[in-house]
Amino acid sequence: MTTIKKEPVDVVIVGFGWTGAIMGMEMTDAGLSVVALERGEKRDTYPDFAYPRIADELTYGIRLKLFQEASKETVTVRHNPGDYAVPYRQFGSFLPGNGVGGAGVHWNGMHWRALPSDLKMHTTVMERYGKSFIPEGMLLQDYPFSYNDLEPFFDKFEKVCGTAGKSGNLQGTIIDGGNPFEGPRMSEYPTPPLKQLYSGALFSQAAKELGYHPFAIPAANCSQPYTNPYGVQLGPCNYCGFCERFGCFMYSKGSPQSTILPVLTQRKNFELRANSMVIKVNLDSSGKKATGVTYVDAQGREIEQPASIVILSAYQLHNVRLLLLSGIGTPYNPQTGEGMVGRNYAYQMNSGISVFFDKDTNFNPFIGAGAAGAVIDDFNSDNFDHSDLGFIGGAYISAVRTGGRPI
């Protein structure tokens, strides 16, 4: 196959979800020429997420149209190092996005910040419980940066999304109604919290009676009309119930399409190429410097895109695989602890319970949003004493109603 060679650019971005869109803005702001490559199709709020098309639960909620299709491309899993790797046939615990916007299109909008102790967990445990509390072989490490280092970027991203919420720690002052365990914020959320649904109100009442600290879930679902720092207008959430696994037709849920693309795609120093599957990061003769990427386009042609900077911003698993296919870095070996590529991959774990109420307690299940609800952080991270518990970390506890769809 003959490889087509494109004209060099300053930056090539691999994967065009949240990270790709943000980096596209940052790089073009710096005056650099940027090409973004996305393996999936091009989508925009209109016409792709227009109502009533997007309120198709069978297509989007059950058949998962916005996600990576496991029958065409999947990942493998093994339960221990001695197992044979077997392929996923149906995604469940994680749902990699596919197409422009990536998982930023189908996420539910819960917009959490890392807690200060999350980023310095090794130091936190050592100082509070001592070295002996950490089991032998546990890979517990601090990040090389702190909450205070990241706070300006948390703040900026919330303003891009128009995140709805209530501060619990504003510049060191604890504020009632917010999360008292959060790190100090430089400013209040861009928009007020979403309206509290009846289930969330009952949860909050019970939590307060038990001495806990309920607050509205931070939501990248605008609670009122809002214009973000890029000049893009967002509309208020209408609690339609078609949020997680769906695109937002109201321009309310923060996504690359609703917050960044209207500006970025108009820039002359930016180009987005969809249906472009990157297969390799190209290296110079030393093997230590990236010179661009090779990808396959929708016509099956192999194309080389030279670039001075290569940014990998796909889903974590795909970034790791691309590094391995390109011969970059040493693969992580869990038996020896050597290697960095693929090391410490982790994913969120959620569990749920069913709660029963008196027959006269009535809810409207069809009203909801991906992040509509109430939550407590009293049992998250190191917000409570683990001395006699034998484990590290924790979780938030919430009552969320995303919407009662027909199927």
pLDDT tens figures, 31-41 = 999 999 999 99
348: pLDDT strictly greater than 90: no
Residue pair 221/371 in contact by the 8 Å Cβ criterion? yes
How high is the pLDDT of residue 120?
Answer: 96
What pLDDT band is residue 229 in, cutting at 50, 70 and 90?
very high
Q: How much is the pTM?
A: 0.93
How high is the pLDDT of residue 263?
Answer: 98
pLDDT tens-digit readout, 170-202: 999 999 999 999 999 999 999 999 999 999 999
Strand partners, 76: 87
Residue of 355 and 54 predicted with greater confidence: 54
How high is the pLDDT of residue 200?
Answer: 94
What pLDDT band is residue 349 in, cutting at 50, 70 and 90?
confident
How high is the pLDDT of residue 354?
Answer: 84
What pLDDT band is residue 313 in, cutting at 50, 70 and 90?
very high
1: pLDDT strictly greater than 80: no
Residue 133, token pair as written in the block: 């509390």
Residue of 349 and 266 predicted with greater confidence: 266
Q: Which helix (H) or strand (E) holds 200?
A: helix 198-209
- CB-count exposure of residue 227 (10 Å: 0-12, 13-18, 19+): exposed
Least confident interval from 83-97, 163-177, 292-306, 319-333: 83-97
Domains in the chain and their CATH numbers?
A: 1-79+92-107+255-345 (3.50.50.60)
Distance (Å, whole) CA 108 – CA 111: 9
Distance (Å, whole) CA 400 – CA 285: 53
pLDDT tens-digit readout, 237-259: 999 999 999 999 999 999 999 99
How high is the pLDDT of residue 347?
Answer: 76
Region 261-268 average pLDDT: 97
Region 265-287 average pLDDT: 97
What pLDDT band is residue 222 in, cutting at 50, 70 and 90?
very high
Rg value, the chain, Cα: 22
How high is the pLDDT of residue 197?
Answer: 93
Residue 40, token pair as written in the block: 């999936």
Residue 145, token pair as written in the block: 């940066």
